[in-house]
Every structure is written in structure tokens, then in C-alpha cells.
Structure 1
Amino acid sequence: MKTRVITAVIALIVFIPTILLGGTLLELVAAVLAVIAMSEVVLMRKKLFVSFEAIVSMIGVFLMTLPSGIWKQWNAWLPVGLQFSSLLYIFVLLMLFHTVVSRNHFSFEDAGVFTLAMMYIGMGFHFLVQAREAGISVIFFGMLIVWITDSGAYMIGRKIGKTPLAPRLSPNKTWEGSIGGTVVAVVVMTIYAYFFPQVYSLPVMILIILILSIAGQFGDLIESGLKRYYKVKDSGNILPGHGGILDRFDSMIIVMPILYLLGGVL
């Protein structure tokens, strides 16, 4: 527990100023975190970091994390056929071509795993950066929903939790904790949205808070399922007492894209 607390304090001391400063620093940090998270998938898949698929996926996830503004600048001089979406598809093609060159030692299933991981991680961190560009209150809106839901679910679950939520994925999570965490998040973040108005009116933002709180818990369970499938306790060990980057950002990289899809990040 002591190691966990110390790691959390150090991480916050580094991460919060990065969020406050934003700009190039946050873009670089987000890209690095995305690459590390992708490397955790590579490790769980039992592939070498120097393998073709690992290198391609890490470059791909780095590019996907870059903010939209950079791509708009690049699109001015890129050939018409190499715009953002088509450029990313090249990485998908490289994965598919690799199944042939490797004589199926790198399978179609492997290609699917790495491609999905690039999308899952890359777009998650991309919209984290976009949320900061939309405004400091916007990114904290998304982050606080995740943190408050997680903390509320943990505390309430410990006190009154009895009914397993998803025992095959995360045995310690309960329906009571899940519902309690969402209720706490809705109450606290409604107050936040009142004092720091977001894109929509307060009633609409309450609905968005509810959706994002539930989505964040799905993000946690998605990553839990990933770990159970690969039979690992944590996605990595870069954060002592906390595991890997995916362990810490699993909810965030689901919440931020959904916040964008709901129009909360313009």
C-alpha cells in the first residue's frame, strides 16, 4: 500500500502540471504513454519488442495520438492519397502483408489484435489531447468523472458490496459499488458542470456524466478481460503498486473518445 501511495503521489505531481501546461508537452507525454501501453499489449501477446509487428504498431499508435491540428498542417503537403485516415490504413496493410511474408507465423488473428490495439490506445490518448485543447475545464471534466466513479465504486463496494458485477472479469467489483460510484460521480460532476459550464445545458450534461461514468467502468472491465485472456495480473510493471499504463488509463481511453462523440470536445 505504501508503494502504491508513493507512486500515485509522484504520478500526480508529474501529470497534473503536464495537463495544466498542455500544448507540445502534453502531446509528447500522451504519445509516449500510448507507445508504452502498446508495448504492454505486445508483451502480453508474447511478441518481441524488436519484431516487425511491434515496431509498426508502436509507430502507428504514436501517429494516431498526435492532435488534429498537426495532421491539418501535414495534410497541406501530403499527397492527396496520403491523408490522415489513409496513412493510418497503411499500417493495417503492413500488418496484413506481414501475415504473408511471415508465412502465417504472424497470423490474421495477430494482425487483428495489433490493429485493434492501435485504434483502442491511439484514439484514446488522441482524444485526451483534444480534450485539453478544447479547454482545461473540459479535460478535467472527463478525468474527474473517471476518478470519482472509480473512488466512489471502491469505497461503496467495500462497505456494502455483495453482488458480483462481472466475476469472470473482475471478481472484486460489485453492482452496489458500480451503481454507488456512478451516483457519486453524477452528484459531484453536476456541481462541477454548474460552476464550470460545458458545451450543453446542465440537464444534457447530467445525462453525459451518467453515460461517461458507466463507459469508464466498461473501460476498466475491457482491460480486465484483456488481462484475464492473457493470464496476467497487470498489463505491465512500469508503475510500482499500480501495474502498467493500460491499468491506469483503461477508463480514460474509453471516456475521452465517447466525450468527443457526444460533442463534449469540439
Structure 2
Amino acid sequence: MNETLIRSLSGLVYVLILLLATLLSRESFLLLFGLFMLQTVREFANLIHLPQTLALIASGLIFINFAVFATPLWVDMVVIVFSIVILILLMLWLFSKNQAPFKHSGWITLTGYIAFPFVCLTKLPILDSQFIPSIIIAIFILIWTNDTFAYLIGKSFGKNKLFERISPKKTIEGFLGGLLFAIIAGVIISMYYVPIFSVLTWMVIAVVTSVFGTIGDLVESKFKRMANVKDSGRIMPGHGGILDRLDSIIFVAPFVFILFKILEYVS
């Protein structure tokens, strides 16, 4: 079968499963993203050479305790702050020439880069104790819009490399194009899909999603370069692993989650 067709069908199945599970109920949403997290943990453990079974057990317990069950605000803040600290350290690592800084901190990285961000992701559609699936779907739309237009504009007009050492195909023009169209998508979402947040709020979410989503993709690319692999896994034909598909959203989730908490506090 044609490789492009395989990639398209695989991507379509992924999107349909994601949308159906998210729209069906909070329970199906948690189940799907719990499975996504376990597969992502498996792939990441392979990249940085952590014991797979222990990594799956530890992350599974984290997900059950912090995502499935309701947690008080102070616990949410611990999850957010821990995740953001680790993600900031990963951003600093991205710009360094050090290729293997995680020999003695793999478990901390696994928690702050994979497990806790998945917890944040599952809490994004919860507003006033209500599960609102359109919120998380809208954030995925922003991710997909950014990625699609970054690719199209980069391919058509890209001349200046964004981060050639890590991702030779990304360009500054592509990044700016993805950012612009993500903001446009945010405006449309605020008007027609999730009007519970203002236009300005969705524009800020779009900027956060575009910037940190791109960084998340670059960070995962560096992990793969460090492991000397093209993809994090093979579960999705033509796309690679689940980490390859969710590297942007898991990097974005803690930053959007803290934005939501700030909005909740000031409102």
C-alpha cells in the first residue's frame, strides 16, 4: 500500500479514536489518555534506557492517584510547578550541546516530562467540576493547525532554519506561519466553538500552544537523536510512536493548565 495512504489512514484512525473517546464521557477520555500515557512512557523509557516495567508501574500509579481521582488545589499546584521546572530544564538542555545529561535523573525526567504533563492534560477540560470536552478538543485543533501550517508554509517559503542542529526541516518562516494560523484558529474557536473563554484568552492559549508545542517537538527530537532513532515507536504506521504524536501537547499542557488556574483565581 502507498506510504502516503498508510500514513493518512493511520492518522485518521488516531484522530477519530481521540475525538470519540473525548466526546463520549470523562471515563472514556481518561481511559484513552491513560493508555496513551502508558505507551508514551514505554517509548520514552526505551529512549533513555529506564527499566520499562518499573516505569509503567510508577507512571500508572501517578496517573491513577492524580488524574483519575479528584485532587485539591495545592496538589494540582505541586504537579504544575514540578512539571514546569522540569520542562524549563529541558528547554535549557535543548540549547546546550550536552547530549546525555539524564544518566542520574531519568526518573525525575520521566515524571516531569511525561507522567505529570499527562495529568495536567486530563485536567484541562475540567471547569467548575464539569467535564467540557470541547476545551481539550480545541487545544488539539490549535496544535494540529500550528503543525499543519508550519509544515505547509515552511515547505513553500522556508529559507531560514529554526534549529538546524536538532531539526533541519523546521524553518523560522514555518514557525511564524504556524503561530499566525494558530492565533486565527483561536479567534474562530472563541467565536464559534468554546465561547466560555474570551477572544484574548484563546489568542494567548494559541500563542502558548504554538511556542511550547514547537519546543516540545524539538525536545523530543533531541531525545531521539541522543538515542539514534528516527521515531519513538512503531505503533502508528507512517507516524511512529504515540510520543511522536503527543510530544507537543504534553509539553504544552502544564503551561495551559497554570494559565487556566490563574484565570480561575482572578475571575
Q: TM-score range by the shorter chain?
A: 0.7 to 0.9
2:166 corresponds to: 169
2:46·2:52 contact (CA, 8 Å) conserved in 1?
no
* CA distance in structure 2 between the aligned counterparts of 1:246 and 1:128, rounded to whole angstroms: 14
1:15 corresponds to: 18
Find out whether 1:214 has 2:211 as its counterpart.
yes
1:113 corresponds to: 106
- Tell me the percent identity: 28
Give the AA of the match of 1:17.
L
Task: Report the Cα offset of residue 69 of structure 1.
Answer: 6.7
Structure 1 residues 13 and 70: alpha-carbon distance in aligned structure 2, compared to 1, 3 A threshold: closer
The farther-off stretch of 57-66 and 151-160 is 57-66
**Which residue among 165, 187, 194 is the counterpart of 2:184?**
187
Give the AA of the match of 1:256.
A
1:235·1:243 contact (CA, 8 Å) conserved in 2?
yes
1:44 corresponds to: 47
1:257 corresponds to: 254
1:157·1:177 contact (CA, 8 Å) conserved in 2?
yes
Structure 1 residues 66 and 241: alpha-carbon distance in aligned structure 2, compared to 1, 3 A threshold: same
Find out whether 1:30 has 2:33 as its counterpart.
yes
What count of residue pairs does the alignment treat as equivalent? 232
Partner-residue secondary structure (3-state), 1:250: helix
Task: Report the Cα offset of residue 46 of structure 1.
Answer: 4.0
Partner-residue secondary structure (3-state), 1:165: strand
1:142·1:259 contact (CA, 8 Å) conserved in 2?
no
Counterparts in 2 of 1:128-147, with a 5 A limit? Answer: 128-134=121-127, 135-147=132-144
Task: Report the Cα offset of residue 197 of structure 1.
Answer: 4.4
Measured against aligned partners, the alpha-carbon deviations of 1:160-202 in whole angstroms (never above 9, x if no partner) come to 0111101111110000000001001101211211234456532
2:60 corresponds to: 62
Partner-residue secondary structure (3-state), 2:125: helix
Task: Report the Cα offset of residue 8 of structure 1.
Answer: 0.8
Structure 1 residues 204 and 187: alpha-carbon distance in aligned structure 2, compared to 1, 3 A threshold: same
Structure 1 residues 45 and 254: alpha-carbon distance in aligned structure 2, compared to 1, 3 A threshold: closer
2:30·2:68 contact (CA, 8 Å) conserved in 1?
no
Task: Report the Cα offset of residue 244 of structure 1.
Answer: 0.5
2:213·2:251 contact (CA, 8 Å) conserved in 1?
yes
* CA distance in structure 2 between the aligned counterparts of 1:31 and 1:246, rounded to whole angstroms: 13
* CA distance in structure 1 between the aligned counterparts of 2:105 and 2:67, rounded to whole angstroms: 29
The farther-off stretch of 17-26 and 163-172 is 17-26
Measured against aligned partners, the alpha-carbon deviations of 1:220-241 in whole angstroms (never above 9, x if no partner) come to 1111111111111001111111
* CA distance in structure 1 between the aligned counterparts of 2:257 and 2:243, rounded to whole angstroms: 20
1:22·1:132 contact (CA, 8 Å) conserved in 2?
no
2:208·2:252 contact (CA, 8 Å) conserved in 1?
no
Q: Which runs of 5+ in 2 are unaligned?
A: 73-77, 83-100
2:47·2:223 contact (CA, 8 Å) conserved in 1?
no
The farther-off stretch of 112-121 and 238-247 is 112-121
Measured against aligned partners, the alpha-carbon deviations of 1:141-165 in whole angstroms (never above 9, x if no partner) come to 2111111000010111111011110
2:186·2:202 contact (CA, 8 Å) conserved in 1?
no
* CA distance in structure 1 between the aligned counterparts of 2:173 and 2:161, rounded to whole angstroms: 9
Partner-residue secondary structure (3-state), 1:173: strand
Higher gyration radius (CA) = 1
* CA distance in structure 2 between the aligned counterparts of 1:109 and 1:219, rounded to whole angstroms: 17
Counterparts in 2 of 1:200-239, with a 5 A limit? Answer: 200-239=197-236
**Which residue among 138, 157, 161 is the counterpart of 1:160?**
157
- Give the TM-score normalised by structure 2: 0.78
1:27·1:67 contact (CA, 8 Å) conserved in 2?
no
